[in-house]
Amino acid sequence: MSRFFDGKLSALEPYTPGEQPKDMKKLIKLNTNESPFPPSPRVFEALTRESIEQLRLYPALGITELHRATADFYGIAPEQVFTANGSDEALAFCFHGLCPNGAAFADLTYGFYPVFAGMFQIPYRIIPLREDFTLNIADYAGLRETIFLANPNAPTGLYLEPDRIRALLEQDRDRLVVVDEAYIDFGGESSVALLPEYDNLLVIQTFSKSRQLAGGRLGLAFGSTELIGDLNTLKFSFNPYSVNHLTLLEGAAAMRDRTYFDACRREIIRVRDDTTRELRLRGFSIPESLANFIFAAPPGMSGRTYYEKLRERGILVRYFAGARTDGYVRITIGSEEQMKALLAATDEILKEV
Ligand code: PMP
């Protein structure tokens, strides 16, 4: 740390992203919940010579084709759509500007939440999940903090039905609930449908998982026009142009290609369910995931050992150290071929231990 670093932030513990290895050819990468498929063919078509020439200009502000495509997809107004440089940026704005009474979130959830809270000096309350990793809505009754909820949750993959989200919203209509739907497209139902009834709801989504654009950095928020206005106030006080011109075009193209979106997510769901079944047959314990990953506890060894043995065999998954996570690894659902390789490696490892 230099002597110039602000003492207020000296305790900041930054988020540790999953490893992005340089030599990708040698590794099967199942550690950061990216898509195994390329972006939609329409994204390739959107990146024309003309669109690249436009890079000399600042990107468009206000309502763009991306806003309209998204609004059409969900049947909401374009003014209810906020765009950000990845959903991490949208979440950062929520912590920075939408937590007047602090924040509250589960003990086992997206690891960036406490980091944002630290960055913006927002006090936060941790609400432990039950023993089986499920979330009990009643634990949130009476809390005044802004609630952050990943649905499906990470790293467990467990999903809350819309009636559970509704119950949470009903607890206090003057308390904001931020539902982080990074993984909603792999079998869950989006809470966007609740927006006409609840102005204390903000939904966050990303193009990184189900729309094959993790490298494009594009996230969305959906809420009342007032909430979206607040997010734009924050964005325009920080970096109005945080979503670049090409990403705006890529996002609109991906959002308009419903057929490709559906085909990719259906395939992930199919492969996820097959992989879960196969691993359970081998004695793994796996909570029911509606995400593009599974949280899997191998039989007879720790999560760390399984992680290390997979790595020796060129397969990269994510291990989270910690009392509740020690027995598990998080495995991103890749292509069918990649998951076959995972199962073959797992059979070898199980013989070994
Ligand atoms: N929310 C959750 C629950 C996530 O797992 C992730 C991905 N790490 C994000 C948000 C952020 O995704 P991105 O910034 O790529 O949109």
Does 10 map to a domain? no
Mean pLDDT of the chain: 97
Does 12 map to a domain? no
Distance 129 CA to ligand 1 centre (A): 20
Does 193 map to a domain? yes
What's the CA angle centered on 284, arms 282 and 290, to 5 degrees? 120
pLDDT tens profile 248-292: 999 999 999 999 999 999 999 999 999 999 999 999 999 999 999
Whole-number pLDDT of residue 151: 98
pLDDT reading at 42 higher than 80? yes
pLDDT tens profile 203-223: 999 999 999 999 999 999 999
Which of 256, 285, 301 is a domain's end point?
Answer: 256
First to last CA, the chain: 43
Counted domains in the chain: 2
pTM, full prediction: 0.97
Domain ranges, residue 237: 41-256
Atom 2 of ligand 1, residue of closest alpha carbon: 182
Query: Is residue 202 exposed (0-12), middle (13-18) or buried (19+ Cβ within 10 Å)?
Result: buried
* In a shared domain, residues 263 and 162: no
Give yes or no for residue 214 CB within 6 A of ligand 1. Answer: yes
CB atoms within 10 A of CB 29: 19
pLDDT tens profile 309-324: 999 999 999 999 999 9
* In a shared domain, residues 244 and 271: no
pLDDT band at 300; cut points 50, 70, 90:
very high
Does 8 map to a domain? no
Q: What CATH number is associated with residue 156?
A: 3.40.640.10
* In a shared domain, residues 27 and 62: no
Whole-number pLDDT of residue 252: 98
Are the beta carbons of 236 and 84 closer than 8 angstroms?
no
Give yes or no for residue 180 CB within 6 A of ligand 1. Answer: yes
Distance 350 CA to ligand 1 centre (A): 32
* In a shared domain, residues 197 and 343: no
pLDDT tens profile 80-93: 999 999 999 999 99
Give yes or no for residue 182 CB within 6 A of ligand 1. Answer: yes
* In a shared domain, residues 45 and 163: yes
Does 73 map to a domain? yes
DSSP assignment of 201-236: EEEEEESSSTTS-GGG--EEEE--HHHHHHHHHHHT
Whole-number pLDDT of residue 18: 87
Give yes or no for residue 35 CB within 6 A of ligand 1. Answer: no
Which of 256, 278, 306 is a domain's end point?
Answer: 256
Which of 230, 256, 282 is a domain's end point?
Answer: 256
Q: Are strands 28-29 and 315-316 parallel, antiparallel or unpaired?
A: parallel
Query: Mean of the pLDDT values across residues 230-250?
Result: 98
* In a shared domain, residues 131 and 164: yes
pLDDT reading at 23 higher than 80? no
User: Which ligand 1 atom sits nearest the alpha carbon of residue 91?
Assistant: 10
Query: Mean of the pLDDT values across residues 8-15?
Result: 93
pLDDT reading at 25 higher than 90? no
Does 3 map to a domain? no
In residues, how long is the chain? Answer: 353
* In a shared domain, residues 85 and 176: yes
* In a shared domain, residues 50 and 95: yes
Query: Mean of the pLDDT values across residues 109-113?
Result: 97
Distance 203 CA to ligand 1 centre (A): 13
* In a shared domain, residues 248 and 143: yes
pLDDT above 70: percentage of residues in the chain: 100
d(CA 179, CA 289): 17
pLDDT band at 191; cut points 50, 70, 90:
very high
* In a shared domain, residues 142 and 282: no
Query: Mean of the pLDDT values across residues 335-352?
Result: 98
- Residue 253, C-beta contacts closer than 8 angstroms, at least 6 positions apart: 40, 42, 43, 45, 46
The residue whose CB lies within 8 Å of the most ligand 1 atoms, and thus the one to mutate among 88, 116, 160, is 88
pLDDT reading at 124 higher than 90? yes
d(CA 212, CA 42): 12
pLDDT reading at 33 higher than 90? yes
* In a shared domain, residues 338 and 319: yes
Does 6 map to a domain? no
Whole-number pLDDT of residue 128: 98
Does 4 map to a domain? no
* In a shared domain, residues 148 and 64: yes
